[in-house]
Amino acid sequence: MRIDGSVFREYDIRGIWNKNIDADFCIGLGEAFAKYLKSKTGKKKLKISVGYDARLSSKEICDAVCFGLNCSGIDVVDIGLVATPVQYFSLFKLNLDGGIMITASHNPPQYNGFKLSVGKETLYGSQILEIRDIMFNLNKTDDCTKKTGKIDKYDILKEYEEYMVESFAHLKKAKKKPAVVLDAGNGAGGIAGFSIMKKLGYDVKGIFIEPDGNFPNHHPDPTVEENLKDLKAILKNNGYDIGIGYDGDADRIGVVLKNEEILYGDQLLLLFAEDIIKKNKQAKIIGEVKCSEVLYSGIEKSGGIGIMYKAGHSLIKSKMKEENALLAGEMSGHIFFADRYFGYDDAIYASLRLLEIITMENIDLIDWKNSLPKKFNTPEIRIDCPDSKKLEVVEKIIDRLKAQNSLDIKDINTIDGIRFSTNDGWGLVRASNTQPSLVLRFEAGSKERLSFLKEQTIDIVKKIIDNKL
């Protein structure tokens, strides 16, 4: 069994099929996860759910990982082709000890991977590295000769749809509903999302709804504007009110307004936060370090408590539980509802909460977005930096920025890299969790100030990387 350590990442296991993930790797992962589950639960007989996305390799991977699990005495509930949040849903609705979701989210078609859960909690960081170490130490005598676990198929998707329709049944009675365009990007969530919206009485036009692991129409990542062209074209010419996009495994959402403007992740989070705070004063809302200051000031103005935390969906979920927060989100479109839901990221559920707000509040999202304080910001900027050097560079940047009087720094937050505030904006430099690079983002009240913050900071970063500072 070949094991490429680079596929074990901060939040999941992910690589290229038949390059650094193959059938033997999958069998070994099943055996290693079985050992891990037994050590953490203290149970000898265990049952987990396994689901997979639309990628061409997903079914073969599922068969191989289930073989490894069965060889180790683990019973499997095969829930078939589903979105990641549907697999998470199975953890809350069935009597299970954990689960595996086979997906590479929005990566290109040749990629695939695994999101692992013990109980109802997804693994990340050192927990994933522990799985890696178990795999490295599997003995040849661990090779499977007799399967002692079994596989049962279960239609959790039907149960998921019924749950959603029941949860939002009040929307059926609404006299006026927005007309929706849903772009699933040929990922795993389109069929469920489209079906639920239709059952709730919405006029919904589905595009690229059928799962297709080749992703023939566009890359399944709705946070990249290039991938929203089809949504925008239909909104422009056909009189629909809102455009919604899902990524490949439907745990991230993208939203386009009828004037073709994008409602960004932190803006969407603020919209949800305002709605929740109306009924839950002093509600805690968690955002990540890349989110706009408009989010945090908006939460405070609404009567809530905004908490800035590290980027990363597993880290956010963990922080939500710690703080007993009702809502959390990231710029990348991961939205987590503990209010009326289970606390995990689900683009289908988020899209229904969005439609609920528009329908019940009769809100014009264009007017709502235009009412927000005007800020100028950059997208994520990535600067190449070796993994071995990333954290060292960030540490040096802290000292250099403090000495850079021209930036007029008022405050420095080091919860995830360094986010510094000035009299009219902020900047962020953090080490990427998934790539050999630094991630930067900037925001200011004017284009001129934005350019100044960006140029000054990037100059410092590059000089430190090149050992010139």
| In a shared domain, residues 361 and 262 | yes
* pLDDT greater than 90 at residue 407: no
228 lies in a domain? yes
For the stretch 318-344, pLDDT in tens is 999 999 999 999 999 999 999 999 999
Weakest-pLDDT range from 146-150, 189-193, 377-381, 447-451? 146-150
Task: Please determine, for residue 141, whether its predicted confidence score (pLDDT) is greater than 60.
Answer: no
Q: pLDDT class for 404, splitting at 50, 70, 90?
A: low
Average predicted confidence (pLDDT) for the chain: 94
Beta-bridge partners for 369: none
Strands (DSSP E) contained in 354-464 are: 376-377, 381-384, 409-413, 418-422, 425-431, 437-444
Residues 42 and 146 in one domain: yes
386: domain CATH number is 3.30.310.50
Note whether residue 366 is domain-resident: yes
pLDDT above 80 for 405:
no
pLDDT digits (tens, 9 = 90+) for 170-179: 999 999 999 9
Q: Which residues pair with 14 in a beta bridge?
A: 113
Same domain, 120 and 257: no
Residues 197 and 239 in one domain: yes
Residue 147 — very low, low, confident or very high, per pLDDT cuts 50/70/90? confident
Domain extent at residue 39: 5-154
Quick check: is 162 in a domain? no
pLDDT at 435: 82
pLDDT in tens, 419-446: 999 988 999 999 988 788 999 999 999 9
pLDDT at residue 203, as a whole number: 97
The pLDDT, as a whole number, for residue 314 is 86
Report strand pairing: 98-102 vs 111-118.
antiparallel
Query: Pick from 90, 120, 154: which residue ends a domain?
Result: 154
Please give the full DSSP string across 248-305, using - where no structure is assigned.
TTSSSEEEEETTS-EE-HHHHHHHHHHHHHHHSTT-EEEEETTS-HHHHHHHHHHT-E
Look at residue 172 and tell me if it is in a domain. no
Contact status, residue 188 vs residue 248, Cβ threshold 8 Å: yes
Whether 212 contacts 186, CB under 8 Å: yes
Length of the chain measured in residues: 469
How does strand 74-81 pair with strand 46-52? parallel
Give this prediction's pTM.
0.95
Closest by CA position to 421, among listed 429, 403, 409, 430: 409
User: Could you tell me if 344 and 409 lie in one domain?
Assistant: no
pLDDT at 143: 58
| 315 and 460 within one domain | no
CA trace torsion 211, 213, 219, 221 (10° rounding): 60
Looking at the fold, whether 18 and 111 belong to one and the same domain comes out as: yes
444-453: average pLDDT: 96
Q: What pLDDT does residue 433 have?
A: 80
pLDDT of residue 140: 57
**Same domain, yes or no, for 365 and 427?**
no
User: Does 199 fall in a domain?
Assistant: yes
Q: Which CATH number covers residue 209?
A: 3.40.120.10
User: 114 and 219 share a domain?
Assistant: no
Q: Which is the catalytic residue, given 57, 105, 314, 351?
A: 105
Instruction: Express as a percent the part of the chain with pLDDT over 90.
Output: 86
**Is residue 337 domain-shared with residue 435, that is, in the same domain?**
no
Is 12 domain-assigned?
yes
Average pLDDT over residues 114-130: 95
In a domain, 171, yes or no: no
- The total number of structural domains in the chain stands at 3
333 and 451 part of one domain: no
How many angstroms separate the CA atoms of 419 and 427, rounded?
Answer: 6
Tokens of 412: 């420095």
Domain boundary among 352, 370, 388: 370
Which tokens is 372 given? 């927000």
Mean pLDDT value across residues 258-263: 96
Q: In the prediction, which pLDDT does 144 show?
A: 67
**Top-confidence residue, 267 or 318:** 267
Q: How far apart are CA 357 and CA 335, in angstroms?
A: 15
Choosing from 349, 370, 391, the residue where a domain stops is 370
Do 364 and 381 lie in a common domain? no
Residue 297 tokens read as: 């000031």
Rounded Cα gap, residues 209 and 245, in angstroms: 10
Q: Per residue, what are the HEC states of 79-133? A: EEECCHHHHHHHHHHCCCCEEEEECCCCCCCCEEEEEEEECCEECCCHHHHHHHH
pLDDT in tens, 61-91: 999 999 999 999 999 999 999 999 999 999 9
Is 292 contained in some domain? Answer: yes
Q: Confidence band (pLDDT; 50, 70, 90) for 28? A: very high
Check if 105 is active-site: yes
pLDDT in tens, 178-235: 999 999 999 999 999 999 999 999 999 999 999 999 999 999 999 999 999 999 999 9
Quote the pLDDT of residue 252. Answer: 97
pLDDT at 311 over 70: yes
Tell how strand 327-329 and strand 284-288 pair up. Answer: parallel
Q: What is the pLDDT of residue 398?
A: 81
